[in-house]
Amino acid sequence: MDVHISLSGRGELAAQIYRQLLDAILDGRLRSGERLPPTRELAKRLQVSRNTVAVAYDRLVADGFLVGRAGAGTFVSGEPVRGRTAPRGVVRPRPVWASMPEPTPWTGPVPYDFRVGVPDPGLFPMATWRRLVAGELRRAPAGYGDPSGHEGLREAIARHIGISRSVRASAADVLITSGAQQALDLVGRVLIEPGTVVAVEEPGYPPARELFRSLGARVAGVPVDGEGIDVAAIPGAARLVYVTPSHQFPLGTPMSLARRAALLAWAERRQAVVIEDDYDSEFRYGDRPLEPLQSLDRAGRVVYVGSFSKTLLPMLRLGFLVAPASLGAALRAAKRVTDWHGELTTQAALARFIDEGLLARHIRKATRVYAARHAMIADALAKEDRLSPVPSAAGLHLCARLAPGVTVRERDGLRVERLESYCGESPAQHGLVIGFGAVSDAAVPAGLRLLRESLVLAAPEAAGPLT
């Protein structure tokens, strides 16, 4: 174990070594059972006599913090030491961060887990993925990579979204990100100045709303109806509009073609930018997919954002954006100054996964599984008079509005999310958002029965997930 010790002056060197080793033990930087460097080695590194180091070690042994073992060395005492906490400090963040919710720790599964945005990990071809990653590790180059991401992956994504979503893009238009959230962050860094008005859907995706606020934007919620965002209600001062047109999050309704055309016309008149988050577009169970805003855009005002968190696994942290050429240089620079580039081995493995047809095969298989769960839940919601389901034919969740006066009582083993938690404006809308990626086929019927039993006539409870 290399221990950092800084000596100043010539006097009491043994005392300085003693104090710094003691601090490291008390702070928890040196943990119980860890071996310290031999006195000769540490003395050589510090350019002091071996006896000076031995005096410090002997004192720590006498105090019970170190223990010597014949023929093995000197170790931190086996008695556990509670690490000292860092000082609280007086530095304060910008005021906007005081209103940001603390990240919620990820909790383990429950028997009836209807969380939103969680794919079924059992569907992921892990053995194949391990083979691809292992192969890329064997030929991984040294050094840094292109901030835009692995070239092969950018080419594969351009082909994939061109075929599956009619997105017009070349590899040069694609930038690889750590999920969709980083894509939104990069766009915000490039386009948002303090006070910029950003329009978002209401209800909508809270992390996007919080991100834009953190960058200094004034976020305006715009109502969503059966055709998508109400273009007439978008503030005239808005310079950025964030939408999820393929599968509106969280309601699930697609944006109509007429509304898409109206939004693009509005953006051109106002010289605004539209961020199209193609959320959950891969999994469709009916209806023909509509053209993405990006492929309808003729003025170069749409930034298309996608992610592999739902199609593959969230832990891979892989997403991308496709931007007009006029934003390309700035976005690449923003990527470079934030994290330079993502994990290139994983990116290379995903490129092969796409090129070998494995992604398309996986999506087809997963769609069949999810379609069965979607149908079970949709049928059950349609028979429940205390819920009004919102029509949806895609994605990994369904939304249902609660009848007036109905709320949901918490039940052990059941986890479902409330529509209120996706609302940024008052009054909040009341309903349930029911995911089906994390719950097994076998558990769906029993979970729905438990959910029906949880519906009661009562005053609405505080918003939040049910556990």
pLDDT score of 245 more than 80: yes
Identify the band that residue 83 occupies on the pLDDT scale cut at 50, 70 and 90: low
Using the predicted structure, report yes or no on whether residue 462 has a pLDDT greater than 60. Answer: no
pTM (two decimals): 0.84
Confidence of residue 90 (pLDDT cuts 50, 70, 90): confident
Q: Based on C-alpha coordinates, what's the Rg of the chain?
A: 28
In tens, the pLDDT along 196-222 reads 999 999 999 999 999 999 999 999 999
Of 191, 214, 176, nearest to 346 by C-alpha is 176
Question: Which pLDDT value is given to residue 251?
Answer: 96
pLDDT at 461 > cutoff 60: no
- 353-373: burial string, b at 16+ Cβ within 10 Å, e else: bbeeebbeebbeebbebbeeb
State mean pLDDT over 175-183. 97
Tell me the C-alpha distance between 379 and 375, whole Å.
6
Q: What is the pLDDT of residues 274-310, one digit of tens each?
A: 999 998 889 999 877 789 999 999 999 999 999 999 9
Nearest to 371 by CA among 398, 350, 408: 398
Quick: pLDDT tens for 322-356: 999 999 999 999 999 999 999 999 999 999 999 99
Q: What is the pLDDT of residue 80?
A: 58
Note the pLDDT of residue 82.
60
What pLDDT does 142 receive? 79
pLDDT tens column, 387-446 = 999 999 999 999 999 999 999 999 999 999 999 999 999 899 999 999 999 999 999 999
Using one digit for the tens of pLDDT, what is the confidence trace for 35-78?
Answer: 999 999 999 999 999 999 999 999 999 999 999 998 899 999 87
Q: In the predicted model, what is the mean pLDDT of residues 250-256?
A: 95
Per-residue model confidence (pLDDT) at position 459? 53
pLDDT-derived band at 465 (thresholds 50, 70, 90) equals very low
464 has pLDDT over 50: no
Which residues share a beta bridge with 319? 177, 307
Domains of the chain listed by start with CATH number: 13-76 (1.10.10.10), 112-118+361-457 (3.90.1150.10), 122-357 (3.40.640.10)
Residue 1's pLDDT is 64
Q: 184 or 286, which is more confident?
A: 184
* pLDDT computed for residue 373 by the predictor: 97
- Span 370-389, pLDDT tens digits: 999 999 999 999 999 999 99
Burial of residue 171 (number of CB atoms within 10 Å: 0-12, 13-18, 19+): middle
For the residues of 401-421, what is the DSSP string, one character each? EEPTTEEE---TTEEBEEGGG
Q: Beta strands 302-307 and 273-277: pairing type?
A: parallel
DSSP code per residue over 22-49: HHHHHTTSSPTTPBPPPHHHHHHHHTS-
User: Residue 399: which H helix or E strand, with range?
Assistant: strand 397-402
Residue range 220-239, pLDDT digits in tens: 999 999 999 999 999 999 99
SS3 66: strand
Residue 206 · residue 424 · CB < 8 Å = yes
- The mean pLDDT value for 106-115 works out to 87
Q: Is the pLDDT of residue 466 over 70?
A: no
Q: Which residues contact 242 (CB under 8 A, 6 or more apart)?
A: 184, 198, 199, 200, 201, 204, 205, 208, 212, 275, 277
Q: Taking all residues of the chain, what is their mean pLDDT, rounded to a whole number?
A: 92
